[in-house]
Amino acid sequence: MSLTSLFPRGSRSPSPTPSPPASPSAEAAPVVPPPRDGGDDPNDLGGCAARVRYFASGAAPHVEYAAEAEAFAGPSRRGAPQSGDEARIATDAGAAGGAHGAHYDVVLDLDVRNGCGGRIWPSARVLGQFLAGPASPIRAGEGSAWGRGKHVIELGSGTGLLGFLAAKLAPEATVYVTDQDVMLSLLHQNHKLDAAALPNVVVAECDWGVPIAAPLPQKADVLLLADCVYLETAFAPLIETMRGLSRPDTEIWFSYQQRRKADKRFFLQLKKHFTWEEALEPAQAREVSPARLFKMRLRDAGKQ
């Protein structure tokens, strides 16, 4: 793919999907409506919870917000009758599920106080929709990169949304959700919300540009990256980590939203070591968010 097609002349960086407003008190626990275009700064989000529903039909994911993750558990865990918030969430989710059929739910606590990764970013919607949908590359059996004994690593996991979805879609593989130390408490917290359904998940620290260390494997069969291109000083360390974890046969699924002109320098550096192609038509990706999805491969050593 040419860099010209990736960054057309005159193109402008779309604004990221805004976050829901800061949650009210836990006592009221009202449902927070989905973000609206032109809304709040994502860094205003102190903490709330979300359920992201991905559909096997390939329909756009359904996202709901609430003050606490417990609101998505159905009848109260304390044995009380179903609250108004729980009933509303169940009704909305039931309508969405009925319209689109089989689905996969991921419930998360969101919190950006320790880093911007603690929210749902647009590219995670695009990549998640692709992995759950009819064109998904995930399959079981011999020869699959997602099968028994295989290693799937998500870089820059933030909340863990994509990694947890991948773990549900590929239960025979081991899925590693990774981020810097400051984000690990949120990753562990979100893993505990659905630990029984995610026995194949490992939460691990991974600082880009630092040698790979246990519990991570030295090489990945699959790499997942969503909205990892955001800080210019991290371009070279990210590429170094991608190279370190990849073989020429490693599947790399890379979802990306252009936000600044400096992003072009990332792809110029990346081109020295990786090849890529569009996995979705841009218009198809924009049905969910202003993001792109690429399938990448490490170049053979002699071509780097």
Rounded percentage of the chain residues whose pLDDT exceeds 90 = 59
Judge whether residue 116 has pLDDT over 90: no
Query: Distance from first CA to last CA of the chain, Å, rounded?
Result: 16
For residue 56, the SS3 value is coil
Measured CA to CA, the distance from residue 41 to residue 27 in angstroms comes to: 25
Q: Which two tokens stand for residue 139?
A: 């399959």
Q: Which domains does the chain have, with CATH numbers?
A: 1-14+121-304 (3.40.50.150), 17-113 (no CATH)
* pLDDT of res. 280: 83
Task: Write the pLDDT tens digit of every residue in 246-262.
Answer: 999 999 999 988 888 88
Q: Which of 174-183, 226-235, 278-287 has the lowest mean pLDDT?
A: 278-287
